[in-house]
Amino acid sequence: MSKYFFHPKSSCMQILLVYPPFLDERPKDYDVKPLPIGLYYIAALLRERGYQVEIINWYNLKDLDLARWTFSALKPDIIGFSIFNANRWGAIDLARLAKEILPETRIVFGGVGATFLWEHLLNHFPEIDFIVRGEGEYTFLELVEKISTNYSLSDIKKIEGLAFRIDGKPHSNEVRAFIDNIDELPDPAKFFSFQHVISSRGCPWNCIFCGSPSFWKRKVRFHSPEYFVRQLERLYRKGIKFFYFSDDTFTLKKERVIKICQEILRNNLKITWQAISRVDCIDEEIVYWMRKSGCLQISFGVESGSEKIRNKILKKKISLEQIKRAFNICRRYGVVPRAYFIYGCPGESKKTIKATTNLIKEIKPLSLVCYILDIYPGTTLYEEFKRKTGKGDDIWLERIEDILYYQTDPSLSEEKIRRFGKQIHDTFDKFFPKFIETLNLIDKKELYPFHADFLTRLGMTIQYGELSERPGIPKKEILAERLFHRALQYYPDQHAFLGLGIIYQKRMNFKDSIKILKEGLKYFPQSEELNICQAVNYMHLKEFKKALKHLLPFDKSPEAMLRAAACYEALGDFKKRDEYLIYAKSLQKKINPNDIISNNSV
């Protein structure tokens, strides 16, 4: 072997970080679209150390020519791929392509999907030069530093957390200890904009389907509330108003969570957010502060209604009492409790699914997400699977995203699983109106505006959001209407007025629509949405002059201006119509003329 393990690179390194495409198309991509948070942390550290780093989100890349063109144009010295199990083939294909075009470029894989399959990946894919195992910031930084200088094999062997090949055989260096104080990491918000944020790393529990315990070794490290809220503030100043707090269990430490919430309020950040928690890590005081500082939703892994599946098999370690209590608190404080269920588990049967549907009826979640149990490398479930089947990591040579547990269990068929899934969803849909009608919000005066906001948002979600797409939920419009009315009993809420105004308008009940919008306009005279909706009512009634009064003040709104043009046309003033048409079109915003006509055409 030559003295140098690899030839040195220039000091002005070009580094490209890529989030590679997933194998399968998804009907909705919101789950896979966001860049892994860790990539931002890695890029921030490198940028702070003076390296040129770009991140590319190719989660849905279909056209390899785009990648070919990008690699040729940027000529990166190092390409780092962030790997989940489901996008590892996307990364392998891109790595192959990159090596074809730029044989000198070093290819590095990192992330949860690479960490556990390092040996398998290095064995089979010569295009991968290095794998960063576990927490990646310093391992990758040291690697980049070495690549930019003359370095030998012994240099590389000193980088903890790194795996690579020696004489064609996979080799892994010593494991790297976790970063003690994660606040020492440069804040990625100084360099990037993003909505998924994380205030801690790790989780102390040990659920058998989850990669977190072996990745983060059940050790939890926290950002200080100051670091975290400063990050939120930086992002807020860049215009981001809604956040996903993506910690495994955001509410792990009560005092800290309350401090974060108080800091959000003290810094006057007008944000909304949602978080992930556990039913045994929540109480009224925490939820109170979360709600006051903008929390709209808390997700809880409930997993199964069957005690045996939940605690004995999946090792979730939460009791029925804790589940009921957590959902009840959220419902009382006006925070959407979202339930995550997993089905297709070992021992799943008609009976266990019945237990799940019964639990749903009991805890009355306001949002539901169900997954079929999946087997990921790094989980206890995967180790069991390998032991039982005698299979090894090379099963991943198949071009598949993942393995679903039921595919490995002869007592479960696809048909059964489909039926189980349908039963769970149908139960939620059928009983959802009851879940809404039984809401009994806590009577605390200072929460009234929050209650109004909560009820209005629910109404909007039913009418236009996520829930509107569930045909199984009966009488959506009536539900939404009731919610808007209830909201207004607590506090005047602009969107509750608007929601009602639109519902009546759709029913051609212009009289009631005008009445409720008039009421709303008393509180929110400047509201563009309320004024435009009111104008549409008058246009329907052919009272164009009245409509114009609501439209003309909004001369920055193409929508208002186009409607004004329509009013002038109806009034026979074609000169003004043309003026307004031209003006509306000159307004920057792109607007689809069909949207303007839609239901509200005159």
Binder of ligand SF4 out of 294, 301, 501, 558 (CB under 6 A): 301
Closest contact distance (angstroms) between CB of 113 and ligand B12 is: 5
Please report, as residue ranges, which positions from 273 to 292 form the binding site for ligand SF4 (by CB under 6 A): 278
Could you say which DSSP state residue 249 is in? T
Binder of ligand SF4 out of 67, 147, 203, 564 (CB under 6 A): 203
Which residue stretch of 43-51, 131-139, 357-365, 412-420 sits at the interface with ligand B12 (rule: CB under 6 A)? 131-139
Beta strand ranges found along 167-288 (DSSP E): 169-172, 196-197, 200-201, 221-222, 242-245, 272-277
Q: Which does 207 bind (CB under 5 to 8 A by kind): ligand B12, ligand SF4, none?
A: ligand SF4
Decide whether 5 or 371 has the Cβ nearer to ligand SF4: 371
Q: How many residues bind ligand B12 (CB under 6 A)?
A: 39
Query: Which three-class secondary structure state does DSSP give residue 59?
Result: coil
Could you say which DSSP state residue 329 is in? H
Please report, as residue ranges, which positions from 362 to 381 form the binding site for ligand B12 (by CB under 6 A): 376-378
Q: Does 135 bind ligand SF4 (CB under 6 A)?
A: no
CA 401 to chain centre: 20
Closest contact distance (angstroms) between CB of 111 and ligand SF4 is: 16
Binder of ligand B12 out of 34, 170, 347, 433 (CB under 6 A): 34
C-alpha 589/C-alpha 583 separation (Å) is: 12
HSE-up (13 A, CA, CB side) for residue 524: 18
Q: Does 305 bind ligand B12 (CB under 6 A)?
A: no
Report DSSP letters for 4-44, one per residue: SSB----SS-EEEEEEPPPSS--S--TTTSSPPHHHHHHHH
Nearest CA-CA partner of 132 in 15, 47, 244: 15
109 - beta bridge partners?
81, 131
* Cβ pair 235, 263 in contact under 8 A: no
Decide whether 250 or 288 has the Cβ nearer to ligand B12: 250
CA distances from 386 to 21, 209, 464 (A): 27, 14, 45
Q: Does 46 bind ligand B12 (CB under 6 A)?
A: no
Q: Which does 365 bind (CB under 5 to 8 A by kind): ligand B12, ligand SF4, none?
A: none
Binder of ligand B12 out of 80, 334, 459, 558 (CB under 6 A): 80
Please report, as residue ranges, which positions from 419 to 458 form the binding site for ligand B12 (by CB under 6 A): none
Which residue stretch of 31-39, 75-83, 204-212, 435-443 sits at the interface with ligand SF4 (rule: CB under 6 A)? 204-212
Q: Rg (Cα) of the chain, in Å, rounded?
A: 28
Which residue stretch of 195-203, 410-418, 457-465, 466-474 sits at the interface with ligand B12 (rule: CB under 6 A)? 195-203
Q: Which does 552 bind (CB under 5 to 8 A by kind): ligand B12, ligand SF4, none?
A: none
Q: Does 293 bind ligand SF4 (CB under 6 A)?
A: no
Q: Is 572 exposed, middle or buried (0-12, 13-18, 19+ CB in 10 A)?
A: exposed
Nearest CA-CA partner of 76 in 48, 56, 50: 56
Closest contact distance (angstroms) between CB of 481 and ligand B12 is: 32
Q: Which does 42 bind (CB under 5 to 8 A by kind): ligand B12, ligand SF4, none?
A: ligand B12
Q: Does 53 bind ligand B12 (CB under 6 A)?
A: no
Number of H helices, E strands in the chain: 25, 17
Beta strand ranges found along 126-180 (DSSP E): 130-132, 162-166, 169-172
Q: Which does 213 bind (CB under 5 to 8 A by kind): ligand SF4, ligand B12, none?
A: ligand SF4
Binder of ligand SF4 out of 207, 353, 560, 561 (CB under 6 A): 207
Closest contact distance (angstroms) between CB of 22 and ligand B12 is: 7
* Cβ pair 4, 154 in contact under 8 A: no
* Cβ pair 286, 258 in contact under 8 A: yes
C-alpha 347/C-alpha 521 separation (Å) is: 58
Binder of ligand B12 out of 105, 212, 214, 306 (CB under 6 A): 212
Q: Which does 90 bind (CB under 5 to 8 A by kind): ligand SF4, ligand B12, none?
A: none
* Cβ pair 339, 326 in contact under 8 A: no
Q: Is 315 exposed, middle or buried (0-12, 13-18, 19+ CB in 10 A)?
A: middle
C-alpha 330/C-alpha 290 separation (Å) is: 10
Binder of ligand B12 out of 132, 252, 260, 551 (CB under 6 A): 132
Q: Is 228 exposed, middle or buried (0-12, 13-18, 19+ CB in 10 A)?
A: buried
Binder of ligand B12 out of 148, 214, 246, 277 (CB under 6 A): 246
Q: Does 205 bind ligand SF4 (CB under 6 A)?
A: yes
Q: Does 334 bind ligand SF4 (CB under 6 A)?
A: no
Q: Does 135 bind ligand B12 (CB under 6 A)?
A: yes
Closest contact distance (angstroms) between CB of 594 and ligand B12 is: 32
Q: Which does 31 bind (CB under 5 to 8 A by kind): ligand B12, ligand SF4, none?
A: ligand B12
Residues at the interface with ligand SF4 (CB under 6 A):
203, 205-207, 210, 212-213, 248, 278, 301
Residues at the interface with ligand B12 (CB under 6 A):
17, 31-32, 34-39, 41-42, 80-82, 84-86, 108, 110-113, 132, 135-137, 140, 196, 198, 201, 210-212, 215, 246, 248, 376-378
